[in-house]
Amino acid sequence: MKKLLISFALLNLLAYAASAGETSSSGNISFDQLLSHITSAPAETAPMPEPAAEKAAFAAATEGRYWITVKAADSHARTRLLEAGFDIVEINKDSVSGIAGPELLAALSSKSFMVLSRVPLAVRAKDFPAADAAYHNFKETVDLLKQMAAANPDIASLFSIGKTTEGRDIWCLRINSSAKGEAASAKPGALYIGNHHAREHLSNEVPLLFAAWLFDHKNDADIKKYINTLDIYIIPMLNADGAEYDIKTGSYQYYRKNMSLNADKSRGVDLNRNYDSWFCEAGASTYPGADTYCGPKAFSEPESQAVKKFIEARKNLKTHISYHSYASEILYPWGGSDADVPNEKDKQVFIKVGDEMGKLTGYLSHKSSEMYVATGDSCDWAYASGGIFAFTFELEGRSFYPGAAILSSAVAKNIKAAVYLLSVTDNPYKVLP
């Protein structure tokens, strides 16, 4: 399969367009042009050898950490593992896999969990810094957002919804034919957020490139209708601090949380355990060093706080996707309880809309807690507090670092699902018979 270097291709395209004056008539970045440029990029770039310094940095980051497989026969066992601080990355029939350091291994052993296998993390690493080039880091993401907003002033605006722990802006691209910036709109709203979790870089690419695609197709009849009648928000990189930390040495750090400094000097809160929905009751850890640490209290973190304020200020929001990776699944509430949502009509909307998006992506749609119960989840909170039909997408791949080759197909199928969500945002209940 070809390696598709999207960010390189885009930068090249922008440079080329600037020098040749060859932007499309609106000055817009052309997604089709971008894709054709990408697919004509040189096939199969050989992985670059890692410089010794990078190897050393990676060894330091991964020293004493393992890819482990633990026996867990059902969702209740999986929930208990989350509470022990283990972030479940892969679910198998009778076991789960993920990353563990010495403290977690000791904790699992003391709680009588059976560790079936463990492989030093460095051995499992299967990607190279050269693969980063296809993905957008924080600066590249912001540059692209600014470029898109500047090229489409009639329908787009860009603003910050708040600052991260380390002071980076959390940028939101808005697509609305009448209201700009933070001005209120009565039009039904759709919200797309990526990158709650640092190492899930694909979850930034999907909403970011969805935006590029929307601008490129803004004159298609259906897209034009959505832009004219809806209020569309795209926040591709919520956890910019964590995403930057994960790549800053040129080798991946397998980092999940934000960059808060905890009371015990450990680093990070799991942002998707920090929302006020059964906060820290099940499937979350109170141990600050754990990957599933819920934080000292609900909404303790600037990133989740920014989302809270954003959603609470916009009562017009009807639909939402929060992108994560990886499982090829679409999840709907509840995640924090085994129960179904109590409103039968809403439940049927979740099932129907989830199934439709499942057909478009090939992902399996189901109630989130069927996988395991995890409280403090953003989509549970968005539905409970705002009545928003909120879906978690666990994007595809067989690793947090699936390489550049996956981008074009993953983005293409997820654009279809994201557009479908727009098509029901005016009234999600219309999907019911």
Under rule CB under 5 A, how many of the chain's residues touch Zn ion? 3
DSSP string, 4-18: --HHHHHHHHHHHHH
**Binding string, residues 296-325; x marks residues near Zn ion by CB under 5 A:** ----------------------------x-
| Least distance to Zn ion, CB of residue 188, Å | 27
Token pair listed for 398: 């067989």
List 244, 356, 394, 396, catalytic entry:
394
| Least distance to Zn ion, CB of residue 271, Å | 9
**Binding string, residues 192-231; x marks residues near Zn ion by CB under 5 A:** -----x--x-------------------------------
| Cβ atoms < 10 Å from Cβ of 25 | 6
Rounded Cα–Cα distance for residues 338 and 75 (Å): 10
Measured from each CB, the residue nearest to Zn ion is: 324
**Binding string, residues 324-353; x marks residues near Zn ion by CB under 5 A:** x-----------------------------
Pairing of strands 189-194, 231-235: parallel
Cα pseudo-dihedral 175, 349, 161, 287, rounded to 10: -150
Contact between 174 and Zn ion per CB under 5 A: no
Rg of the chain (C-alpha set): 21
Q: Omega of the bond prior to 326 within 30 degrees of 0, cis?
A: yes
| Least distance to Zn ion, CB of residue 428, Å | 24
Closest alpha carbon to 239 in 108, 138, 155 = 138
CA atoms within a 13 Å half-sphere pointing along the CA-CB vector of 6? 29
**Which of residues 107 and 202 has its CB atom nearest to Zn ion in the complex?**
202
| Least distance to Zn ion, CB of residue 91, Å | 14
Backbone angles phi, psi at 365, to 5 degrees: -100, 130
**Which of residues 336 and 428 has its CB atom nearest to Zn ion in the complex?**
336
**Binding string, residues 266-285; x marks residues near Zn ion by CB under 5 A:** --------------------
**Which of residues 65 and 197 has its CB atom nearest to Zn ion in the complex?**
197
| Least distance to Zn ion, CB of residue 424, Å | 24
| Least distance to Zn ion, CB of residue 153, Å | 34
**Which of residues 346 and 377 has its CB atom nearest to Zn ion in the complex?**
377
Number of H helices, E strands in the chain: 14, 12
| Cβ atoms < 10 Å from Cβ of 94 | 10
In the 3-class helix/strand/coil scheme, how is 352-401 assigned residue by residue?
HHHHHHHHHHCCEEEEHHHCCCCCCCHHHHHHHHHCCEEEEEEECCCCCC
**Which of residues 356 and 377 has its CB atom nearest to Zn ion in the complex?**
377
Query: Catalytic residue at 281?
Result: no
**Which of residues 65 and 257 has its CB atom nearest to Zn ion in the complex?**
257
Binding site for Zn ion (CB under 5 A): 197, 200, 324
Q: Tell me which residues are annotated as active site.
A: 394
